[in-house]
Amino acid sequence: MAVQYPSDLLCTIARPLDAKTNAISMFDRNQISPAHRYKGMIVTVQNPITERAQTWWLPTDNLTNTGWELCDNSVILVPTWAAGKNYVLSQLIINDDVLYICKTAHTSSADFANDTANWIAVGGVCEPPVSDYAQGADFKERYFARFGSALYLVLKNFKSDSVKATLVESLAADIAAGNLTAVSGDSPTYTHLQIAESIVWNVTHNLNTLHPTVTVFDDGGNLIVVDIQINTADIATITFPMAIAGVAVFRK
């Protein structure tokens, strides 16, 4: 049963983590080092597929993995289907507890039953299967692969590329082969793959915003902090201290 934590605790000593950053520790509260845990700690963890966010806390002196208690303020950020809304390619929605991915950009009609040709049913929303993208790994159709905060739907059963020199090159090859397609939740998303190592990444994301949320990962899928310059509503420049390959995820 969910445990409601005191509001005064939340306001005074809580240090919640923002699930939208998709930092490594966001995917699993147990990845937080015991040395950084404390009684009263509150964290937000996020399902990388449905973007279902849940808040957990440590209400006692038990700072082990068994000490976490679920708070009752969980939210789902993948939207339910709505009539008269513009949907974009690869956007995720929930309808009747089923997760769908948009396969055709469209404006929804008054009834989801009239729009089923625009959607692919992925499955139930409780525990969609997801695994980290890796070279030479087996992936099953309609499962998900993750690279950093970038999420991909597996379009068919396949073994990922193991020939390319880097992980990003293999990922790009599998996307080009039609094995994977990028997906997004309620916020329009653009994923930039930087295959060639470079000090400067020039990104055209076409999200029409001067305030995108950006997460950047190196070729190993590690979250990194870098200088990001927003040039226009559709173009950004990312600068690194040394040449690097990797992935940048832009969300509107």
Distance separating alpha carbons of residues 53 and 228, to the nearest angstrom = 27
Q: Give the model's pLDDT for residue 54.
A: 67
Of all residues in the chain, the percent with pLDDT exceeding 90 is: 33
| Residue with the larger pLDDT of the pair 34 and 14 | 34
Q: In this predicted structure, which of 38-52, 103-117, 193-207 has the lowest mean pLDDT?
A: 38-52
pLDDT band (50, 70, 90) for residue 75: very low
Q: Give the model's pLDDT for residue 126.
A: 45
pTM of full prediction above 0.85: no
Distance separating alpha carbons of residues 183 and 28, to the nearest angstrom = 21
Percent helix, strand and coil across the chain, each rounded to 5? 15, 40, 45
pLDDT winner (highest mean) among 53-67, 214-228, 233-247 = 233-247
Residue 193 CB burial class (10 angstroms; 0-12, 13-18, ≥19): middle
pLDDT band (50, 70, 90) for residue 142: confident
For 173, which DSSP code? H
pLDDT band (50, 70, 90) for residue 49: low
pLDDT band (50, 70, 90) for residue 46: low
157-191 pLDDT tens trace: 999 999 999 999 999 999 999 999 888 766 678 89
- pLDDT reading at 100 higher than 90: no
- pLDDT reading at 22 higher than 50: no
- pLDDT reading at 206 higher than 60: yes
Q: On the CB side of 61, how many CA atoms lie within 13 Å of its CA? A: 0
Q: Dihedral of the CA atoms 105, 106, 112, 115 (nearest 10)?
A: -80
Closest C-alpha among 145, 153, 161 to residue 181: 153
- pLDDT reading at 68 higher than 90: no
